[in-house]
Structure 1
Amino acid sequence: MGPKPETPQSGQLFGFPLIAHLNQHHPLILFVALINWKAIYLVAPEPVPLKRGRPEVLRK
């Protein structure tokens, strides 16, 4: 087995808009269109901080 032959790349992977890849009739896409994002940003303007790593263990 030798190396695989190179296939020409167009470089259009990142030039193509993400929304064009998504199914516009999927229930989650339809749901997102109904959300009032301005109201959410007024209530929660800052993202919730995430705790990364292993959960803390309480020791006795």
Structure 2
Amino acid sequence: MSEIDELENEARMARGELYHAFLPKLTDKRNRCHHACHRFNTAGEVPRRKLVELWRE
């Protein structure tokens, strides 16, 4: 298999076209997003400022 241009691959993803989803960089981004969403959703009763910080993650 030939080398995949990661920037072009992400651009395809953003445009809604077919792309290679299991490249290490994309997998790392999905994992980071998953953990950030979990922290946000389980934050409970925290100040609004903290929610904004979590949202920005």
With the shorter chain as reference, the TM-score category is under 0.3
**Higher alpha-carbon Rg:** 1
Query: Larger relative contact order (C-alpha < 8 A, sep ≥ 6)?
Result: 2
TM-score when normalising by structure 1: 0.25
* Structure 1 or 2: more helix by fraction: 2
TM-score when normalising by structure 2: 0.26
